[in-house]
A = this chain, B = another copy of it.
């Protein structure tokens, strides 16, 4: 959810102490329109900006809707001064989120060429201040949010394993973790995958492996009977290589680029009749 505090901050950041160009009398209407094809996201955030300014919002489309050039994402009606004040922040939010949703959908479609059900997931590599907006945009594009913050899921990392050993680290965190929280264990060799499964991992992150290594790790997991353990591939996977990873039988492919490197979707805001 978008809070009043966030909108306060975003508007203040964009307007400054004394803006003269928006001192426009009267009422106006405005429309948020796509200039290129993609997937809509961040509509709730754009809407919240106008709600804050007491501008009426009409017919917002749902996050995840496929859009074509000329399509309207929402329209507004209200005091011209307030519409103009909100316009830039609303476009920046929706453009940023829709860019992430659009990129996610393309990656998902690419992965679908090799796997009907692999999940394409984001990471914690999000823009500071916009974690929620970006994670929801990934979901809007057909992706998986992955863990939302450090408290959501335990990731057992190489530094934990270096200190306590693989089984030791898993056991350490099982004792300290709520039943509500899953444990994802990062492994760097094919042989560690079934060991992590045996030790109680819910998910096994196959880090920086080639597709061939990934496939072997997945196979080793199945051979060891850990069918209920999820396998996740991560590390340097791009839209060019995602299908190769999808073909390995892995359950999840996580990619930081979904959130940190998606170009904004080109949207424009048109005021007046």
Q: Which of A172-186 contact B (CB under 8 A)?
A: 173, 176-182, 184
Known: A146-B178, A149-B16, A264-B261. A130 touches B129 (CB 8 A): yes
Q: Which of A1-28 contact B (CB under 8 A)?
A: 1, 3-6, 8-23
A14 contacts B230, CB within 8 Å? no
A16 contacts B152, CB within 8 Å? yes
**A95 lies within 8 A of chain B by Cβ:** yes
Question: Which of the segments A108-116, A118-126, A188-196, A213-221 contacts the partner chain?
Answer: A118-126
Q: Which residue of B lies closest to A16 (CB)?
A: B151
B14 contacts A96, CB within 8 Å? no
Known: A10-B128, A129-B9, A260-B92. A151 touches B99 (CB 8 A): no
**A43 lies within 8 A of chain B by Cβ:** no
**A248 lies within 8 A of chain B by Cβ:** no
**A160 lies within 8 A of chain B by Cβ:** yes
**Interface majority SS (helix, strand, loop, mixed), chain A:** mixed
Scoring A85, A146, A150, A251 by chain B CB atoms within 10 A of each residue's CB, the highest score goes to A150
Known: A18-B151, A96-B260, A151-B19. A88 touches B124 (CB 8 A): yes
Contacts of A13 in B (CB 8 A): 17, 128-129, 131-132, 149
Contacts of A106 in B (CB 8 A): none
Known: A21-B154, A150-B15, A257-B263. A180 touches B145 (CB 8 A): yes
Known: A129-B129, A264-B260. A15 touches B145 (CB 8 A): no
A-B pairs with beta carbons under 8 Å apart, 13 shown: A1-B15, A5-B5, A16-B16, A18-B145, A18-B178, A19-B151, A93-B128, A121-B179, A144-B180, A162-B272, A179-B232, A180-B184, A257-B263
